[in-house]
Each structure stands twice: as C-alpha cells, then as structure tokens.
Amino acid sequence: MTVESGGATTAAPTFQPREAEQLVQLLTPEGERIEHPDYPLDLTAADIRAMYRDLVLVRRIDTEAISLQRQGELGIWASLLGQEAAQIGSARALSPQDMVFPTYREHGVAWCRGIDPVKLLELYRGVSHGGWDPEEHKFHLYTIVIGSQTLHATGYAMGIQRDGAVGGEDAEAVVAYFGDGATSQGDVNEAFVWASVFNAPVVFFCQNNQWAISEPLEKQSRIPLYQRARGFGFPGLRVDGNDVLACYAVTKKAMQAAREGQGPTLIEAFTYRMGAHTTTDDPTRYRLASELEVWKLKDPIERVRAYLVRTGQAEPEFFAAVEAEAKEVGARVREACRTMPDPPPLSIFDNVYAEPTAILSEERERYAAYLETFEEAGR
C-alpha cells in the first residue's frame, strides 16, 4: 500500500487469485475430459454435439452483428465473443419453467430460450427497446443499467416462493446474469442480501470477463468474486467460463438446489471478453494484445471440437453441416436486419400506460396533424 504525505491511499493491496484454485473444469482447453467428484455429467454425445452447434451459431450471429454495425445497419452491438460457453452451458442447464434475467450481452442465452436473433438486432438497430414477450420465453428484457435486473430476479424468485413452486416436481427457479463490473453496484449487493435473508430460489451467474469496459477486475474487487457469496451467507464457486460442460454442470446443480429450497448460489464464470466492450470501444487503448493471445488458447469452441474429434463422437460431416447452418443463419440475420422497417412514427405514443392519458392522446393527435401537413410535399 502506498500512502502519500497527504494521507491519500493511491493503491490498494492486490489480491492475486490462484486461478487453478477452486476452478471447476470438466473439459481442458486442449479438449481433455476430466472428472470432478461434485459434478458428474449427464450429457450424451448428441447433447454435446448440440451444444457445439449452439456455440458455433451464436458466434456466427455475433460476427454478423458486428459487421452489420460496421455497415451502418446497427447503431451499436455488444459482442459476446469469448463468452459463448458460459452462456450456452448455463442456459442449456435450465428447465423450460425457469426464468432468466439477462444483461444486454446474453445473446447465447437468448438463443437457448428461443428468442429470434433478429429480435435482439431490433434493440441495437433502434427499432424497439426489446420486442419479445418475457413470459412466453421465460427470458426477461435485456437490462442495460448495470445490475438492476438482479433485484428483479430476486423479487421474481420471492414470487415463486409465494406461489408454492419451490420443492416438488414442477419447482421453478430464477437465474440472474451480470458481469464483473456489476458486482460493485448497490443493486447487486442488495439482491444478494434479499436472496439470502429470504432464501430465494435464484442463482446469480456472474460472467467475469475480466474487463468492465476499460477497467480491469482489480478496480472492482480485492478478492475473487465468488468468495463474496460467503459474506452474504450462501455458497459461491468459480467455474471455467470457457468450458461449456462445466458451466452446464455447475448451473444445473445450483438451479436444482434453488428449486429444492436451498436458496441462492453465486457462480463466477471465469472467462474473457475477447472483443471490445461494444462496437464503440477500442480495447487497444487499455489492454495488451498478449493478454488476448493467452485467452485465444482457451477458446470455448475449439476445445469442444477437439474433444468431439478425439473421442470420435462427431464425424467431419457433422462439422460441415454446422458450418453450413451457420452460414444460413448468418445470411438470414443479415437480410432480416437490412430489410427491417422503421416503426411508424405514431407508435412513439403506444404502451406508455395501460390506457392512454388525455395529455398523451392530445400530443398524439397534434403530432399526427402536424405530420399530415407534410402529406402533399411527397412524404
């Protein structure tokens, strides 16, 4: 700790986490399958192939979206590059009745919940603020104000308790996604307090991608994030966030515990944001290229491919078919984005209240009349 003469602390002691410590891993970066006593895997070869397909397709959608932003078709895009395994693994561990509260980067989770990727593009193109029905997909709207959704998730989980939907066959639970930066937010800490004292059936899934825009993890925490849970009175664990099998296994177990009435769990998925924060960001200003090179060796997709090939669980035709499908999905997303119409101007006034107020109706009428004056000018 450095203390200047004025007494101001300029640097806090940095806790150096031993990365291997406590890290749950079932598939190494080289594609070696390893066993963990607490997390036996219940997946078939077909399940793992399906996850590989998910990983490839969401990366392709992401790549398309970045291109569409560069071409002026999207205002902005928040890339999930590098975080595919954390998202697909955790989302595939959910039951259909579980509820998801995402951030704005959960494109992989959205994919698993059956949200058309084009709906995600609507938000980033500026056509809507989120065009899907959250209850239909059990996937809430993207939340942009950092950490706010963790409280919604916790309240929803308290509703599940009041509905008597904890324990038993049809039990439900909630998962709240957020990032490393969000762990500094008051709302996230309040959500931890609430979930703990009410024993709410909610799993906090933190994708620690090491960077909150330009701020490294050391700006958020002196201890590994998963260890925070202990202070709130519930279990926390760290999983290899680039290992789709491990993310699946730990989420499955934590969700099951929540459904059975054992309360919340904090999962820290240790991963890496391989791209920029969003398309407006330039990571070369604050991090070294060498760091990215290290993480490229831990790529979440390559290790699954290596595993499937090595164990003979997938033929070359399978990979070719996934590649072809990715191209198709990419083309469809591209076309749908480019041809997406702007919403009609007067839709500005829709859905502010259950019924429009007199003041709102008057504004709408006046603006409609104003627009009418342009009719003859060839609008």
Partner 1 sequence: MTTLTLSKALNAGLRKALENDPKVLIMGEDVGKLGGVFRVTDGLWKDFGENRVIDTPLAESGIVGTAIGLALRGYRPVCEIQFDGFVYPATNQIVSQLAKMRYRSRGNVSLPVTIRIPFGGGIGAVEHHSESPEMLFAHTAGLRVVACADAADAFAMIQQSISCDDPVIFFEPKRRYWDKAEVDTVSGVTRAMPLDRAKVVLEGTDVTLLAYGPLVRTCLESALAARQGGPGNGHSIEVIDLRSLSPLDEETICASVRRTGRCVVAHEAPVYAGLGAEIAARVTEQCFYHLEAPVLRVGGFATPYPPSRLEDHYLPDLDRILDAVDRASGY
Whole-Å CA distances, 226 to 18, 152, 238: 13, 21, 6
CA-CA-CA-CA torsion sign (299, 62, 156, 51): negative
The answer to whether the beta carbons of residues 241 and 247 sit under 8 Å apart is: yes
Q: Say how far apart CA 150 and CA 184 lie, in whole Å.
A: 13
| Tokens coding 74 | 């999207």
Q: State in angstroms the smallest separation of the CB of 136 from partner 1.
A: 8
- Out of 273, 303, 307, 334, the active site residue is 273
Report the residue from 27, 58, 151, 245 that binds partner 1 according to the rule CB under 8 A: 151
Q: Say how far apart CA 247 and CA 4 lie, in whole Å.
A: 44
Residue whose CB is less far from partner 1, 40 or 126 = 126
Specify whether 129 is catalytic.
no
205 DSSP β-pair partners: 177, 267
Specify whether 142 is catalytic.
no
Identity at 293, one-letter amino acid code? E
162 binds partner 1 per the rule CB under 8 A: yes
233 binds partner 1 per the rule CB under 8 A: no
Q: ∠ at Cα 314 (312, 298), nearest 5°? A: 90
Q: State in angstroms the smallest separation of the CB of 223 from partner 1.
A: 22
| Tokens coding 31 | 């594609």
Identity at 227, one-letter amino acid code? Q
Burial environment of residue 378 by CB neighbours within 10 A (0 to 12, 13 to 18, 19 or more): exposed
Burial environment of residue 377 by CB neighbours within 10 A (0 to 12, 13 to 18, 19 or more): exposed
Segment lying near partner 1 (by CB under 8 A), choices 57-65, 161-169, 282-290, 370-378: 161-169
C-alpha atoms less than 13 angstroms from C-alpha of 319 in its C-beta half-sphere: 13
Residue whose CB is less far from partner 1, 31 or 233 = 233
155 binds partner 1 per the rule CB under 8 A: yes
Q: State in angstroms the smallest separation of the CB of 129 from partner 1.
A: 4
186 binds partner 1 per the rule CB under 8 A: yes
205 binds partner 1 per the rule CB under 8 A: no
Q: State in angstroms the smallest separation of the CB of 70 from partner 1.
A: 27
Residue whose CB is less far from partner 1, 154 or 265 = 154
The residue length of the chain stands at 379
Q: Say how far apart CA 345 and CA 109 lie, in whole Å.
A: 32
Specify whether 273 is catalytic.
yes
8 binds partner 1 per the rule CB under 8 A: no
Q: Say how far apart CA 297 and CA 303 lie, in whole Å.
A: 9
213 binds partner 1 per the rule CB under 8 A: no
Q: State in angstroms the smallest separation of the CB of 173 from partner 1.
A: 13
Q: Locate tokens 């916790």: which residue?
A: 154
- Out of 70, 129, 230, 286, the active site residue is 286
74 binds partner 1 per the rule CB under 8 A: no
Residue whose CB is less far from partner 1, 280 or 357 = 357
Q: State in angstroms the smallest separation of the CB of 363 from partner 1.
A: 11
List helix spans (H) across 41-178.
45-70, 84-92, 107-112, 117-125, 134-137, 148-162
Q: Say how far apart CA 27 and CA 166 lie, in whole Å.
A: 32
75 binds partner 1 per the rule CB under 8 A: no
Residue whose CB is less far from partner 1, 24 or 160 = 160
197 binds partner 1 per the rule CB under 8 A: yes
342 binds partner 1 per the rule CB under 8 A: no
Residue whose CB is less far from partner 1, 145 or 321 = 145
Report the residue from 28, 36, 76, 190 that binds partner 1 according to the rule CB under 8 A: 190
Residues contributing to the site for partner 1 (CB under 8 A): 128-135, 140-141, 143, 145, 148, 150-163, 186-187, 190-191, 193-194, 197, 350-354, 357-360
Q: Which residues are catalytic?
A: 273, 277, 286
